Chains A and B, each alone.
Chain A
């Protein structure tokens, strides 16, 4: 698989390595756990062993007396202010106060001179619990008489969304065929390899500093302020290198963050926390498991008329960003297909399980799994080709969806066609031997969303006298390549080299406020801000150059570290000489500033009308599988995807994003499942929580990724989202491929060997003739 450069730019469109790759391959990049401050203590958290219990009393006197223990905090040491993302979802406390709501809920924290003593101290803290009845099933949790988790809501409804656009009753009445299915999805984890880690310091002046592995440091900053009851000006969050994000705890302030700073206040020393993998896989922020009921009405020719989607999601013990989690599936039902009538009802229910939040694609992959599985079912019933039904219903540029999404660039048909072409779909579909199959799944995503509160991104471009540039934004690189892509944008505009740009890590005292890294927003939103900031700096320099070179400002060209007059390149200055001229002779320090926001109105996530994003990306994925009828094991033998990222600013990084997202989808489809029994996670280790490994991957020759280029006019250099959308259709593609291979339709995730074996036996028992016939045809073919 080679990667081609795109477009006629000096920097943009080139498949160049990630800027920080050099310090990552040498081990020099410092992640949070790699920081050691002088006098630093080590913190550990005491967690609830009960899924639901009242805290009657906490006695830490024995732990306090253990030599080496410097401080202990419990919920009572905090002001008791609930924090969270939105006013209606503020239900977190830094430490549990009166009761615990899931196994793993944080109850107390210790700081000691080393980790072993801190762990020993945890065992000496005595907590008297009064166990309460617990509930683990969301449908049971909403019934009357069920245990109630939070006082502020009735019937454990953590978030609900209901909307109808068009008239589904009319749509169903006009339909020739109705299909109704129930799908089930499982909880999975972000699975980043770096555990959560932070160091907190509360100094003599009352200034609070948190060094932490965070993908949205400003969210952490605000939440710390909220939960501590302290103004943001006294809080400083400094981002370290981040060893993988995928949302979750790196998106928000976690109990470890609060405890690190408060233990520091008590002990007068910096305090470091690092989670074990056992903690990482047990505690909150997992993907919402859902029951998804979907009813679809179609014309005989496959035209979609109406869809009614109902979702019950197990939200677990706390809200995280639950209201958005529930809005998204219904909203994204409007993409990438044209559905005139859409009805949606969703409930996120509190249970005594670990809580759920965002995870690469948020709640969109689940609904794409259901919708694109069902499309294949419909196609089969109507005798249509699964490709045709997708192409027939795919949205086109310029359309507005029933829920108000304005579709700009949207290369959906090209995605489907390119994925078909790359995979050899026509040569394979229907022609593969038994137990081998090929399937397609499609999806769509936003390029950043207009969410509540602060949505704008800002960039500062500081041009230095040696001709290099310090690029300062509020965005974080979590491995996705923001450091590189944002630097490429600045370099292209200023006509300097990529190596001339230095990308700053977030420090809330220094960098501009930013919502964070989520919803695939950074390239688009911060990228636009960087472009505007770099253009601002360029304009300041162009004014000076124009005077010096006696030319019009608009005729000044910046390229290859040179500044020259268009059509007369002999009249030129070196970029660095121009900067010196500005700074030394004219006293002008060149700093460019730019901000970007989409200008869209805020959407009420409970009712759901409005244009969420300035640009939408479609994607199509084809998966080929082989099913072993003896073991039930599904092997992915090929994956090919096409994704409309607008314009690939760096094709090598886009490829990494798309393939990485695709493999996460395969993980959810085939292997991953956080198994919980009465609220206890049974597989909290990488041994038992199965993520994809190298040997699970198809051969390189059977892996393909195609960029569909649509050059979005509102994106920086035409770019749109690339990190999450590609994962949306993968699970359905696997489901459809497994069906194609076995004739068995799986509607419950993951498609694990036990389910496959059981279903194959059942299907052979029910329809032996069909398989006998299949065998015969194949024998003849051979």
Chain B
């Protein structure tokens, strides 16, 4: 019989109480136990960034993070980002409008990383955006429209809107 640990998680504001093997990653628990499949499973070794979620506002690779360690912290996933149905977060909106989404598999992770990054650095330079997103692989876009999206989101959040 597997050793099961009781785990209490707070995800997107909702409390969950689970009984899980202690070695399960946060990624596995989010996807398989909580059906939050917006967080993507790809390399499972912290190289691609597709599984990025926020832990107390900090971006982490959920594939490298044990669910038990996330207890007592606020977990935010892509499903929790939009403030209400029909109203996207400015970052999501910017990704849509700049063409930063192609296949979309890297998108949730990149959006979560952007959220954490812009919360800390609301007016980044292009160079800083590049550095902040270097832990994310995208094979479709060549990254340019993603960098544009992050910059556009920063402008939108600052209330300046997009440039003419």
B126-152 CB mask vs A (1 if < 8 Å, else 0) is 100111011011111111111110000
Residue of B nearest to A243 (CB): B105
**A20 pairs with B104, CB closer than 8 A:** yes
Chain A hits for B78, CB < 8 A: 25-27
**B140 pairs with A25, CB closer than 8 A:** no
**B79 pairs with A192, CB closer than 8 A:** no
Which residues 179-216 of A sit at the B interface, judged by CB distance below 8 A?
190-195
**A697 pairs with B130, CB closer than 8 A:** yes
B111-126 CB mask vs A (1 if < 8 Å, else 0) is 1000000000000001
Give the CA-CA distance A489 to B38 in the complex, in Å. Answer: 30
Known: A27-B39, A656-B102, A656-B141. A21 touches B130 (CB 8 A): no
Give the CA-CA distance A664 to B140 in the complex, in Å. Answer: 8
Chain B hits for A691, CB < 8 A: 137, 139
Which of A1, A243, A652, A662 makes the CB contact (< 8 A) with B103? A243
Which residues 646-694 of A sit at the B interface, judged by CB distance below 8 A?
652-653, 655-656, 659-664, 685-687, 691-694
Which of B45, B97, B108, B148 makes the CB contact (< 8 A) with A1? B148
B68 within 8 A of A: no
Known: A659-B145, A697-B143. A27 touches B77 (CB 8 A): yes
**B42 pairs with A194, CB closer than 8 A:** yes
Chain B contact residues: over half helix, strand or loop, or mixed?
Answer: loop
Known: A243-B40, A659-B144. A27 touches B45 (CB 8 A): no
Chain A hits for B19, CB < 8 A: none
Known: A195-B42, A655-B145. A25 touches B48 (CB 8 A): no
B106 within 8 A of A: yes
Give the CA-CA distance A469 to B108 in the complex, in Å. Answer: 29
A601 to chain B, nearest CB (A): 35
Residue of A nearest to B95 (CB): A25
Give the CA-CA distance A663 to B126 in the complex, in Å. Answer: 18
Most buried by B among A28, A193, A685: A193
Known: A662-B142, A663-B142. A242 touches B103 (CB 8 A): yes
Residue of B nearest to A277 (CB): B43
Chain B hits for A36, CB < 8 A: 32, 35
A611 within 8 A of B: no
Most buried by A among B96, B126, B139: B139
**A692 pairs with B99, CB closer than 8 A:** no
Give the CA-CA distance A481 to B103 in the complex, in Å. Answer: 9
Which of B81, B96, B142 makes the CB contact (< 8 A) with A659? B142
A33 within 8 A of B: yes
Which residues 610-666 of A sit at the B interface, judged by CB distance below 8 A?
652-653, 655-656, 659-664
Chain B hits for A24, CB < 8 A: 101, 104, 107-108
Chain A hits for B18, CB < 8 A: none
B60 within 8 A of A: no
A608 within 8 A of B: no
B41 within 8 A of A: yes
A21-62 CB mask vs B (1 if < 8 Å, else 0) is 110111111110110100000000000000000000000000
Size bracket, chain A contacts:
35 or more
**A21 pairs with B96, CB closer than 8 A:** yes
**B101 pairs with A25, CB closer than 8 A:** yes
B90 to chain A, nearest CB (A): 11
Give the CA-CA distance A663 to B102 in the complex, in Å. Answer: 15
Chain A hits for B142, CB < 8 A: 659-664, 692, 697
Give the CA-CA distance A478 to B139 in the complex, in Å. Answer: 12
Give the CA-CA distance A699 to B35 in the complex, in Å. Answer: 39
Residue of B nearest to A34 (CB): B37
Which residues 235-250 of A sit at the B interface, judged by CB distance below 8 A?
241-246
Residue of B nearest to A27 (CB): B38
Which of B41, B43, B101, B133 makes the CB contact (< 8 A) with A694? B133
Chain A contact residues: over half helix, strand or loop, or mixed?
Answer: loop
Give the CA-CA distance A742 to B5 in the complex, in Å. Answer: 61
Known: A20-B104, A656-B102. A33 touches B144 (CB 8 A): no
Which residues 36-90 of B sit at the A interface, judged by CB distance below 8 A?
36-45, 47-48, 50, 77-79, 81-82, 88
Known: A27-B78, A193-B50, A193-B137. A479 touches B147 (CB 8 A): no
Give the CA-CA distance A20 to B101 in the complex, in Å. Answer: 9
Most buried by B among A26, A192, A246, A685: A26
Chain B hits for A334, CB < 8 A: none
A149 to chain B, nearest CB (A): 31
**A700 pairs with B37, CB closer than 8 A:** no
B25 within 8 A of A: no
Give the CA-CA distance A662 to B82 in the complex, in Å. Answer: 33
**A686 pairs with B88, CB closer than 8 A:** no
Which of A15, A193, A480 makes the CB contact (< 8 A) with B48? A193
**A685 pairs with B144, CB closer than 8 A:** no
Most buried by B among A22, A28, A479: A479
Chain A hits for B36, CB < 8 A: 27
Chain B hits for A28, CB < 8 A: 38
**B140 pairs with A30, CB closer than 8 A:** no
**A274 pairs with B41, CB closer than 8 A:** yes
Give the CA-CA distance A478 to B102 in the complex, in Å. Answer: 8
A593 within 8 A of B: no
Give the CA-CA distance A18 to B99 in the complex, in Å. Answer: 7
A664 to chain B, nearest CB (A): 7
A695 within 8 A of B: yes
Residue of B nearest to A658 (CB): B142
Known: A26-B92, A686-B47, A694-B136. A703 touches B102 (CB 8 A): no
A274 to chain B, nearest CB (A): 7
Give the CA-CA distance A223 to B142 in the complex, in Å. Answer: 33
Which of B88, B99, B103 makes the CB contact (< 8 A) with A25? B88
Give the CA-CA distance A54 to B82 in the complex, in Å. Answer: 56
Residue of B nearest to A653 (CB): B99
Give the CA-CA distance A693 to B136 in the complex, in Å. Answer: 7
A460 to chain B, nearest CB (A): 25
Give the CA-CA distance A661 to B102 in the complex, in Å. Answer: 12
Give the CA-CA distance A428 to B40 in the complex, in Å. Answer: 44
**B144 pairs with A686, CB closer than 8 A:** no
Which of A193, A480, A695 makes the CB contact (< 8 A) with B42? A193
B146 to chain A, nearest CB (A): 7
Give the CA-CA distance A595 to B38 in the complex, in Å. Answer: 36
Chain B hits for A480, CB < 8 A: 102, 140
Give the CA-CA distance A220 to B133 in the complex, in Å. Answer: 35
Residue of B nearest to A655 (CB): B99
A699-738 CB mask vs B (1 if < 8 Å, else 0) is 1100100000000000000000000000000000000000
A331 to chain B, nearest CB (A): 27
**A244 pairs with B105, CB closer than 8 A:** yes
What are some 18 contacts across the A-B interface (CB < 8 A)? Answer: A21-B101, A24-B101, A25-B92, A25-B104, A26-B92, A27-B38, A28-B38, A33-B41, A34-B31, A193-B138, A277-B48, A655-B99, A656-B102, A660-B102, A686-B48, A691-B139, A694-B133, A694-B146
10 cross-chain pairs, A with B, having the tightest CB-CB distances, nearest first: A27-B38, A479-B103, A24-B104, A243-B105, A663-B142, A479-B102, A686-B47, A34-B37, A27-B78, A25-B92
Add 6 more A-B contacts to A21-B101, A194-B40 (CB < 8 A): A30-B37, A31-B40, A36-B35, A192-B139, A656-B140, A659-B141
